[in-house]
Amino acid sequence: MADYNTMELMIVTGARELKSGASVAVGTGAPCAAAMLAQKTHASDLLIIFEAGGIDPQLPEMPISVGDSRTIWKACQATSMTDTMELFCRGMVDYTFLGGAQIDMYGNLNSTRIGPDHQKPKVRFPGSGGANDFGSFCWNMMVMTPQDSKRFAEKCDYITTPGYLEGGDSRDKSGLAKGSGPYRVITNMAVMDFEPKSKRMRIKSINPGYSEKDVRDNCGFELLAHKQIAETHHPTKKELTVLREEVDPYRYVIGR
C-alpha cells in the first residue's frame, strides 16, 4: 500500500517539472506547495512569483493567500500586481499552474460558467482572476486537477484561459507568443502532455494504481498517447518528508 495520498503525488509530480533557475507564477494551494517543494529540494534557485506582488520569496511556510505577508518573506521585491502582470506580458515567466471547472483536448480552460446561457448559467464560477494573463503569457502552462469525464470535456462551455485554442497553429495565429502554451496536465490518474503538431492532449505517464483504461474512461474526449506510456514515479522519502514537515506541516493542502 502506498504511504502517500493522491494530493501528495500530484504536488510531487508538479514540483519535479520545475527547474532551478526558472521562474514560476503560482497562486495558493497545491501549485504553491509544488513550487515550495521544488525550491526546498532540487531547485534552490527557482524564482517564485505571486500575482499580488511578491517576487522571489524564500517561503517559510504555506501562505493562505497571494497577498499573505509570507509571500514577501526574504523576497527580492515586494511590488504590485501591475508590475507582476507586466513581467508576464514581457515573456519573463517560464511556468505557471492553473485549474478550472473544464479542460478540453487542446488545454483550453473554463473557470467562468457551465451552460450555454452566459446570463443565466447552470453554474457560475469566480471567473478569470489572473488566469487568462497567466495562461496567455507564461511560456509553459501546467494544470493540476482531479480527472473525470465532466471536467475533461470535449468542448468547454466557455474559454476563460486559452490553451491551444483549436489546435495546430491556431494559438500562434491568435497573436500569443509562439512556443507558449499548455505544457503538462497533472491529475490523480495520470500525467499528460500535448502532441507537438496537432496540440492534442496525450497520455505521458499513468499514476500507480490506475490503468490506461481508467484514464480513458474518465475523459470526455479521445486522448492520444505516447508510444511507450511510462508509470509516474512514486514520491521519494525525501520529497514526502520535506512536503510534510517543511512545506505543509499543518496539512492545509495535503490533508484534502
CATH number (domain holding residue 215):
3.40.1080.10
**Residue 212 lies inside a defined structural domain of this protein:** yes
The whole-model pTM stands at: 0.94
In tens digits, the chain (256 residues) has pLDDT values of 479 999 999 999 999 999 999 999 998 899 999 999 999 999 999 999 999 999 999 988 889 888 899 999 999 999 999 999 999 999 999 999 998 999 999 999 999 999 999 999 999 999 998 899 999 999 999 999 999 999 999 999 999 999 999 999 999 999 998 999 999 999 999 999 999 999 999 999 999 999 999 999 999 999 999 999 999 999 999 999 999 999 999 999 998 7
Edge-to-edge strand order for the sheet containing 23-26? 77-78, 54-55, 47-50, 23-26, 95-98, 140-144, 181-186, 190-194, 201-206, 224-231
**Residue 1 lies inside a defined structural domain of this protein:** no
**Residue 15 lies inside a defined structural domain of this protein:** yes
- What's the rounded Cα separation, in Å, for the pair 147 and 165? 21
What sign does the CA torsion over 148, 150, 154, 156 have?
Answer: negative
CA terminus-to-terminus distance, the chain: 19
Which residues are catalytic, by number? 51
Report the alpha-carbon angle 88-253-203, nearest 5.
Answer: 65
pLDDT of residue 65: 87
**Residue 254 lies inside a defined structural domain of this protein:** no
**Residue 200 lies inside a defined structural domain of this protein:** yes
Domain count, the chain: 1
**Residue 113 lies inside a defined structural domain of this protein:** yes
Residue 161's domain comprises 6-247
**Residue 45 lies inside a defined structural domain of this protein:** yes
